[in-house]
Amino acid sequence: GNSVTQMEGPVTLSEEAFLTINCTYTATGYPSLFWYVQYPGEGLQLLLKATKADDKGSNKGFEATYRKETTSFHLEKGSVQVSDSAVYFCALGGEYGGSQGNLIFGKGTKLSVKP
Amino acid sequence: NAGVTQTPKFQVLKTGQSMTLQCAQDMNHNSMYWYRQDPGMGLRLIYYSASEGTTDKGEVPNGYNVSRLNKREFSLRLESAAPSQTSVYFCASLKSRRGGRETQYFGPGTRLLVL
């Protein structure tokens, strides 16, 4: 079935380090891909998204490129800050033969950034 | 705009008790969702409502019922709570389901503990 696989955490980095969180997916058709972020004690909020192959989503210094050939949507940031400490979720949506609009989430990756 | 609101924020129940989690959105969205979040499991869809008057099961519907009271409100009911239903519950809404390209907006969550 359709699924999302994220790298397991937790990930601990020093401030200004480079971040990569891997995400790969299995789906039929042409899904949309999302990264959501959850700050401590809060709900999820959209970080970025891409709706077709080769699209690059970006926001707050984070980027992810929709790679259909490798079925991946890895999240990157060149220089993390302490305020980026959160849990990051990769999600699959769109036309995958099932319920449009519904999302399938990865298990989440907890990021801790130390000063 | 308040966005998506959820009540209560926190609840403790005894096994066998019932309760209803409330969710409301003021964005005039058509679709609404209920998820549960468990450690190491990501978010899993319990039920969703594609439009007012319709509801459908998600991945983990057993033990839950839902009501789409009107376009704004979507409630989740536990008729007889079990310890396995201890979780954080998130409500989300979506404007439309155009191929799943649009963003889901999440509430702040309800933390439920079943003893």
What radius of gyration, in Å, describes the C-alpha atoms of chain A? 14
pLDDT of residue B50: 86
Contact B108 A42 (CB under 8 A): yes
Residue B105: closest CA among chain A residues belongs to which residue?
A45
Q: In this model, does residue B97 exceed pLDDT 90?
A: no
Residue B91: closest CA among chain A residues belongs to which residue?
A43
Please compute the mean of the pLDDT values over residues A39-49 and round it to a whole number. Answer: 90
Q: Flag whether residue B61 sits within 8 Å of chain A, measured between CB atoms.
A: no
Q: Please, what is the average pLDDT of chain B? A: 91
CA A31/CA B52 separation, integer angstroms? 25
Q: Flag whether residue B101 sits within 8 Å of chain A, measured between CB atoms.
A: yes
3-class SS letters over B54-103: CCEECCCCCCCEEEECCCCEEEEEECCCCHHHCEEEEEEEECCCCCCCCC
Q: Considering chain A, what percentage of its residues have pLDDT values greater than 70? A: 93
Q: How confident is the model at residue A72 (pLDDT cuts 50, 70, 90)?
A: very high
- How does pLDDT run across A1-36, given as a tens digit for each residue? 788 999 888 999 999 999 999 999 998 777 889 999
Are the C-beta atoms of residues A86 and A112 closer than 8 Å to each other?
no
Measure Cα distances from A104 to A25, A43, A70, A90, B100 in Å.
10, 16, 19, 9, 11
**Is the N-terminal amide bond of A10 cis, ω within 30° of 0?**
yes
Residue A94: closest CA among chain B residues belongs to which residue?
B100
Q: How confident is the model at residue A42 (pLDDT cuts 50, 70, 90)?
A: confident
Q: How confident is the model at residue A101 (pLDDT cuts 50, 70, 90)?
A: low
CA B96/CA A60 separation, integer angstroms? 26
pLDDT of residue A20: 97
Residue in this structure with the two tokens 């699959």, named with its chain if needed: A92
Give me the residue from B31, B40, B90 closest to A101, CB to CB: B31
CA B34/CA A102 separation, integer angstroms? 11
CA A92/CA A68 separation, integer angstroms? 13
Give me the residue from A31, A43, A102 closest to B48, CB to CB: A102
